Chains A and B, each alone.
Chain A
């Protein structure tokens, strides 16, 4: 399949448009939460929706490389935007949890230490912080080859993020496992098996 025209069209999409479209749901969901559109328990609903969007943008970001390699679809220009939008949703998710949900500082610390799904989620967040901070041209230039290695932290971060969702589900639920499966698949596609490598 020849995607040349699709790829050149995608290249012409300005980054600011990706940021605006990607982040608009954050504002819209908050507005819905304020005005009753998220049901009678808007705090949990908002927390969960932000968390799901973070996972979805994480998956989109991780899909950029395999999409180019296996489908010829080139979204590399927009990978930074996708990654930073993912991080923005992680921050929104965390802020709703801290400020609206738990509220009590001592309980926040106890939760991080005592509850495995929160420990895991917090670890994923901490791994993403240096990636967000270095998602700019200056850092890429300064860090050189180290930049690529640093950004491989996104792999363990994605696994922890998916595990965070799996661990918080009550009973046996399929949805979190689908996110985990998608992330595992996208990571496996990066494993280069020497005998299959084409020159």
Chain B
């Protein structure tokens, strides 16, 4: 697709993407197992066509949207974003997708909606990891409406100019580049507009460690990992750590969303 937007263009120019192999072989997608290579090994069995997304809640046009129908309405563009996992590793990924705001506008967000909730496919016969209670399935995530409408927030359909591989969340996933990776929910089948903060999977599993916001913040430590620095995937056995950037380097674009909010309490 054409390169559009204009946002984050300055950063894009200096970002050097990881390789296809790195992005597609090192994944967290617990529906296929907790090992980093499990998704690449087992996600192939997930049926991604046909694919439908149910959009419901406080929208004017609730209903089931086919993946092809969504694509026909959206303009795809490339976004090269930093991707920072809460486990303190990171990548740079060239995504193709469209702004989530465009999809939400298609559904028609009603007055009073404050949050957007997302759900991942739950199909145990194709997702071996869901046979174990690692998390309370299906995987759920959520954003505040203004975060969802921010132009940086996209629904990705591809990487490196190719359709998303299953292990990366085919055929349609969220990408919120200033938040830890687990917020960028994969293989989305349901989007709900609501006026209540929606329950989110990792927050439900361990609220002390995973907040609703989960913005990348080098000053707020995760109880198990320091978030001050990160290791970029692909540097080999002697790779050096690099400092983590506030809001993963998107401070100029998103800091205003959190004005007046205590980020150590709302982590």
Contact = CB atoms under 8 A, between A and B. Distances in A.
Given A34-B237, A111-B226, A117-B224, A39 B25 contact: yes
Interface in A148-163: none
Contacts of A34: 236-237
Contacts of A171: 30, 34, 134-135, 205
A43 interface: yes
Contacts of B133: 172
B241 A39 contact: no
Please classify how large the interface on chain A is, using the bins under 10, 10 to 19, 20 to 34, 35 or more: 20 to 34
B34 A173 contact: yes
The DSSP consensus for interface residues of chain B is loop
A107 B133 CA distance: 33
B226 A46 contact: no
Interface residues of B, number: 30
Contacts of A41: 26, 36, 89, 231, 233
A172 B134 contact: yes
B229 A107 contact: yes
Given A33-B237, A171-B135, A40 B229 contact: no
B226 A107 contact: yes
Interface in A70-109: 100, 102-104, 107
A128 to B, nearest CB: 23
A46 B241 contact: no
Contacts of A170: 34
Contacts of A114: 221, 223
A168 interface: yes
A182 B225 CA distance: 28
Contacts of A39: 25-26, 36-37
B226 A110 contact: yes
A76 to B, nearest CB: 36
Contact of B231 (A43, A46, A107, A110): A43
A174 interface: yes
Given A41-B26, A170-B34, 14 more contacts: A34-B236, A34-B237, A40-B25, A40-B233, A40-B234, A43-B237, A104-B241, A110-B226, A115-B225, A116-B223, A117-B224, A172-B133, A172-B134, A172-B135
6 closest A-B pairs by CB: A171-B134, A40-B22, A33-B237, A42-B237, A40-B26, A171-B135
